[in-house]
Amino acid sequence: MSTHGQLMPEKMKELTPIFQARLSNDVTRQAALRALTLIANKASVDLSAFASVKCLEEVSGFMRKNSKDLRLATATFLEAMVRARGKKISTDGYALLIKETSPHIRYAYFIFKPRL
């Protein structure tokens, strides 16, 4: 889907419920996030179902989980969605993203130290 998705838009409509089910399952969640990140970064596939407030609420909630890998996969997916599909995310969606991700952003991340 990430390389030839624009040639088969109807296939993504079939895959959307599968991806949503995979996101609901603890075992397959991380793999689904990685696959969706690839699709969001490379293809011009319709991911509007994942830009909805309901889906963003579910996905951004993964930032509160204990797994560092899951939090990283979630942050990477959310970044890809904002970069590639930012116009399809509503203002409520952005407010939700800011609320969920702001506890994970530290001031120290923005301090740039010169290389020696």
Q: Would you list the domain boundaries of the chain? A: 5-110
| Most confident segment among 3-7, 84-88, 93-97, 103-107 | 93-97
Residue 21 burial by CB count (10 A; 0-12/13-18/19+): exposed, middle or buried? exposed
Question: Of 116, 104, 112, which Cα lies nearest the Cα of 76?
Answer: 104
Q: What is the pLDDT of residues 45-67, one digit of tens each?
A: 777 778 888 888 889 889 888 88
Q: What is the pLDDT of residues 78-102, one digit of tens each?
A: 999 888 888 888 899 899 988 888 8
